[in-house]
């Protein structure tokens, strides 16, 4: 029985379910920031997944990287599984730009975070889902 961490739930909007992971959109309109959470209870580290699950995870990371590139044309994709604050395994996939608030440093822990408006959120979620094509369950 998988339960999404409360802090992840509070900071994000659910985009959909992939084969292994729940895909979340960070509620930060300043840059494209998606989070993959493998739906496996009690997993904190990549090496706690099975080999088969890890293969799926890296394909999902790759897919989401491609979606962000297609929709936003960032100069770099940042991928990170940190978990110092929320130990539940979650993988950030973020499009970065030379004019974003933390460039060239890491984005985690920086602010201010500006939430999406409701219409904008629906629009962004819809375009991500469209770009995910066959990847959504």
Helix (H) or strand (E) holding 121, with range, is: helix 118-132
Residue 33: cis peptide before it, omega within 30 degrees of 0: no
Tell me if 33 sits within 8 A of 111, measured CB to CB. no
104 binds a second copy (CB under 8 A): yes
Burial of 119 (0-12, 13-18, 19+ CB in 10 A): exposed
99 binds a second copy (CB under 8 A): no
Q: Segment near a second copy (CB under 8 A), from 8-16, 23-31, 106-114, 124-132?
A: 106-114
122 binds a second copy (CB under 8 A): no
Find the binder of a second copy among 10, 51, 119, 137 (CB under 8 A).
Answer: 51
State the number of binding residues for a second copy (CB under 8 A): 35
Tell me if 27 sits within 8 A of 45, measured CB to CB. no
**Measured distance between the N- and C-terminal CA atoms of the chain, rounded to whole angstroms:** 18
22 binds a second copy (CB under 8 A): no
Closest approach of a second copy to the CB of residue 6, in Å: 17
16 binds a second copy (CB under 8 A): no
Nearer CB in complex with a second copy: 7/120: 7
């Amino acid at each position: 029985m998988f339960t999404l961490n409360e802090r992840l739930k509070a900071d994000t909007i659910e985009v959909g379910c992939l084969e292994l992971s729940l895909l979340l959109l960070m509620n930060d309109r300043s840059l494209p920031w998606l989070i993959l959470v493998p739906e496996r209870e009690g997993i904190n580290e990549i090496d706690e997944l099975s080999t088969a699950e890890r293969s799926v995870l890296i394909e999902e990371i790759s897919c989401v990287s491609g979606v962000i590139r297609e929709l936003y044309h960032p100069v770099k994709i940042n991928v990170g599984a940190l978990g110092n604050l929320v130990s539940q395994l979650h993988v950030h996939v973020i499009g970065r730009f030379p004019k974003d608030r933390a460039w060239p440093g890491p984005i985690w822990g920086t602010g201010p975070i500006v939430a999406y408006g409701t219409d904008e959120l629906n629009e962004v979620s819809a375009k991500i889902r469209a770009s995910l094509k066959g990847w959504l369950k």
